[in-house]
Amino acid sequence: MKFNLQNFFRQHLCVAIAKTVVIVASASLISCGGGSIQPNIILISMDDAGWRDFGFHGSAVKTPTLDQMARQGIKLDHFYVSPVCTPTRAGLMIGRPASRVGIFGAINAVASPPLARDQVTIGEIFFRAGYDTALTGKWHLGNTPDFGPSAYGFNHSHGFLGPWVDYYTHRTMEDKIDWHRNGEYIDQEGHATDLISNEAINFLTTDRDKSKPFFIYVSFNAPHLPLQEEEKWLDLYRDQFKTESRRFSAAMVTHVDDSIRQILETLDKEGVAQNTLVIFFSDNGGEPPGEKSYLRPKPTYKTTPSTEFYSDNSPLRGAKGSLYEGGIRVAAIAYWPGKLAPGTFSEPIVIYDLLPTLASLANIPIPAKMIVEGLDFWPALVKGESLDDRVLYWHVGQQFSVQKNGWKLIHRRGTTSEATDELFHLEKDPHEKQEVSGIYPEKLYSLKQEMMRQQELDEKN
C-alpha cells in the first residue's frame, strides 16, 4: 500500500504551498538553490541501547562501525529523547514534545493510534518536497496498517507496527503477525536485524526513485527484549560478560553495528555517500535491572534474576523509564564525511529538534499551520557555537522534567501540591549525585513555574 499523494492532500485540506508555508532559513553546506542537489538523509536508531553500550563511550561491546562514525563525525554529547519508545518516535515525527498531542508513554498492542490521521509528520514534509521516503523497522505509533508509516508520509514502509516482536517469527507476545511491507502483512524468514537492514539496502539500490533525493528512517528494534541472537554474534562474548543477559544484549548491539556497516558501504557503492547525512541515536536509555522474561534463540521462556542487567548506562544515573540522565540522554552521532568536521557537540539538543534542523538543511518548507517547537541546531553544529538558552521539557506518565540553563527539575505524581521534587545542577553534577532543592529553593521555584507553564501548553493542545 504505497503512500497516496491525492489522499494526503485530501486529508490535510492543503491549499497552494505558496500560501501555506513558511520558508525555514537554510544552513545547508550544499547550496539548494539554482538547481543544486538537496542532501539525502538517513536516520538510524537503536532500541533501548544504554549510554555505555558502545565502544566510543568506553564499552567492551564491539561497535567498530559506530566507533568510526564517532571519530569521523560529530558526537552529539547531550542528545535527549524520551525515557520510553513511543514519545521519542512521536517527537521525531512532529517536531515538538509528544505530550502536546496527548502521548505520555509507550502504547501497547491494543492501544488506539496515538497520532491523528491529519497529523503532519517529518515523513510527509520530505515527501511533499519531492523526496523518496522510507521507513524500515519499528514504528510503534499505531498498531494497524491503516495507522502505519504509509499513512504518515513514508512512500516505502517495512517492519513491525507495535512495541516488540519475536526476532525470528516476527510475531507478538499474543502470537499475532506484526510484520508488514507497505501496509500489507507479510511472512519473512530471518533475524529482524538482518531483515531491517536488508530492506534499507534494497531501497538504496533498487526500490527508490533515483531521480529524487531520499529520506530513510532505519529503526532497529535491537537490543530491546526479547533477547534473541545468532550464535556467530554470541560467540564474540563467550568470555566477556558474566551474565547471559548481558552477553545477548552486547551481541545484539554488535549485530546492528555490522548492519550499519553494510548500509554505509551501500552508500559508497551507489555513489551517494558524499551527499548523505547520517544521524544515529538510541530511542531511550538502556533497560534497567530487574526480573524479566525473555526469549532465547528458540521460543522458550526464561526469567532473569532481579539483579541481572542488560544494558549499561554508566556513568549516567537511571535507565529506561526514568527522567534521570540515564533514561533520556543517549548516544548519538552526526556523520557526513567531507561536510562535517570531526568533533564533539556538547550543547543540549532533543529529538524534536531533528525535524526543523533537517527541513532547514534541505530548504524544505514547513506548513504554516504546523506548530514546531524544536530548534534548528545546524548552524551551531557546523560552526561549533553555543545555542541560546532554552527550555527542555518532558511529560511521561506522572513524571515531569524541565531543564534550563544547566539546571534540572524532576517532578513526580502529576500535581504540584502532592508530589516529590528533585533539583540537580547538571553543569556541576552531570551524573545527578547530589539533589540540591534544599540549597537552592529559588531555583526550584523558578523551574516549577516553568513546568506549570509547559503543563498548560500540554492542556491547550
How far apart are the C-alpha atoms of 378 and 385, rounded to whole Å?
10
Residue type at 199 in one-letter notation: E
Q: The dihedral of CA 186, 192, 196, 199: what is its sign?
A: negative
Alpha carbons 281 and 284: distance in angstroms, whole number:
9
Is pLDDT at 324 greater than 60 in this prediction? yes
**SS3 per residue for 86-151:** HHHHHHHHHCCCHHHHCCCCCCCCCCCCCCCCCCCCHHHHHHHCCCEEEEEEECCCCCCHHHCHHH
Is-cis flag, bond preceding 223, omega within 30? Answer: yes
Q: For residues 132-151, give the mean pLDDT.
A: 94
Q: How confident is the model at residue 18 (pLDDT cuts 50, 70, 90)?
A: very low
Mean pLDDT of 98-126: 84
Is it the case that residue 26 has pLDDT exceeding 60?
Answer: no
Asked if 409 and 423 count as a contact pair (C-beta separation under 8 A), the reply is yes
Distance CA 208, CA 202 (A): 8
The pLDDT value recorded for residue 173 is 79
Residue 47 has pLDDT above 90, yes or no: yes
pLDDT at residue 36, as a whole number = 56
The amino acid at residue 223 is P
Q: What is the distance between the alpha carbons of residues 108 and 332, in angstroms, rounded to a whole number?
A: 26
By CB atoms closer than 10 A (0-12, 13-18, 19+), residue 255 is: buried
Mean residue pLDDT across the chain:
88
* pLDDT higher than threshold 50 for residue 23: no
Q: Count of H helices and E strands in the chain?
A: 12, 21
Q: Does the pLDDT at position 461 exceed 80?
A: no
Share of the chain above pLDDT 70, in %: 87
The pLDDT assigned to 27 comes to 35
Angle between helices 244-269 and 64-72 (to 10 degrees): 60
Give the model's pLDDT for residue 108: 76
Return d(Cα 78, Cα 69) in angstroms, integer: 17
pLDDT the model gives residue 377: 97
What's residue 295's pLDDT?
54
Q: What is the mean pLDDT of residues 202-219?
A: 98
Closest CA to 292 of 243, 336, 338: 243
Mean pLDDT of 188-202: 98
Q: What is the pTM of this model?
A: 0.90
SS3 percent helix, strand, coil of the chain, rounded to 5, is 30, 20, 50
pLDDT bucket at 15, cuts 50 / 70 / 90: very low
Cβ contacts of residue 150 below 8 Å, gap of 6+?
1, 2, 3, 157, 182, 183
pLDDT, tens digit, 9 for 90 and up, residues 219-256: 999 999 988 999 999 999 998 988 888 999 999 999 99
Percentage of residues in the chain having pLDDT higher than 90: 76
Q: What's the mean pLDDT in 436-444? A: 97
Does the pLDDT of residue 393 top 70, yes or no? yes
DSSP at 205: I
User: What pLDDT is recorded for position 51?
Assistant: 98
- Catalogue all structural domains in the chain, each as residue range(s) with its CATH number: 5-383 (3.40.720.10), 398-460 (3.30.1120.10)
Q: What local confidence, expressed as pLDDT, does residue 307 receive?
A: 75
Note the pLDDT of residue 193.
98
* CB-facing half-sphere around the CA of 282: CA atoms within 13 A: 34
Q: Confidence class of residue 107 from pLDDT cuts 50, 70 and 90? A: confident
CA distance 176 to 192: 16
Mean pLDDT value across residues 197-219: 98
Interacting residues of 442 by C-beta distance below 8 A, sequence separation 6+: none
Give tens-digit pLDDT for 269-290: 999 999 999 999 999 999 988 7
What gap in Å lies between CA 121 and CA 250, rounded to an integer? 33
Q: What kind and span of H or E run contains 102? A: none
* pLDDT at 12 > cutoff 90: no
Three cell numbers written together for 16:
497552494
What pLDDT does residue 109 have? 52
